[in-house]
Amino acid sequence: MVFFQHSNLTAVEWAAVRRELRKAIAVVPLSTSCSNTEPLELCQRVQLQVLRTNMLDVALRIVEFHCPKVMRGLGSTVHPPQGLMIHDLSRAAYDAIRTVDTLPSSAYTQIEPLMTGPVAALVMPVVSPAHLAAALSVLAPVPGKFPPPTRTTTPGYYDPACQSGLAKLVLIGGRIEGKILDQVGVNWVAGINGGLGELYSRLINLLKGTGPSVTRALDYRSQNLWLTLNGRQSQLE
C-alpha cells in the first residue's frame, strides 16, 4: 500500500486520475509483474481507494498486534461450544488491540502519523516495482526517474480535470512487505531495475561468489594451523 494525502478531489477528478492510472498499469509487461515464475495480470487489481482512517487504524492494529496462534494458549480466551472465537472480529482481537502497549519500533507506531486527514491508498496485491513505477509516473512523477506521460502518447493525462486532481495528491509513504517506508523508500522500491526477480538473481550471484572465498579463507587458516603444529611436533621429537 502506498499512501497519498488528498485535498477532497471531486468525483470527476477521481475518475480522470483512475482512468490514467489504469492506462499506465496496462502497458506494463506481464513478465515484470512480480517475482513468481508465472506472471500475474495486475491491471484490474491495482486500485486507488479513498480510506476511512479510523477503520484503517483498527485494521492495522489487528494485523500488528493480534495473533490467533498466541490467543489459543491464553486461558482468558472465550471457549464457546462451536470452538475458539479468535478471528479478527472477535472479542479476543478487540481485547488484544485495546490493551497492547505499542512500541516505538513497531510498524503501527511508524505508520500512525500518516493516518491523519483525508488519505487515499494505492493498493497492489503483490510487490511489483515495474507496476509501482508506472503508477508513480502518473500519481507522483519524479523528473528523470519516473517521468510523467508525454502529451503525444497520453493526451488524457493533461486534461484539466486530471491535472487538477493530481495537484491535490501528495505521496506521504507506504507499507511494502510489512515495512513502513517514506517517500524516498517508496521511490527506491519502484526504481529496482528488472523487478524483484532481477534483485533476487543479484543476491544469489553475490552469495555464490562469496561462498567459495569464505571457504578458501577458512581452509587456509586450518591448513596453516596444521602445518604449524606439525612443524612443532618434529622439533619436539
Q: What is the pLDDT of residues 179-226, one digit of tens each?
A: 888 899 999 989 887 666 666 676 777 777 666 666 666 666 677 766
pLDDT tens digits, 113-144:
777 889 999 998 888 888 999 999 999 999 98
Q: What are phi and psi of 4, to 5 degrees?
A: -130, 140
Mean of the pLDDT values across residues 18-37? 75
pLDDT of residue 34: 47
**What local confidence, expressed as pLDDT, does residue 74 receive?**
52
For residue 178, the model assigns a pLDDT of 80
Torsion of the alpha carbons at 128, 129, 135 and 139, rounded to the nearest 10: 130
Distance CA 197, CA 33 (A): 10
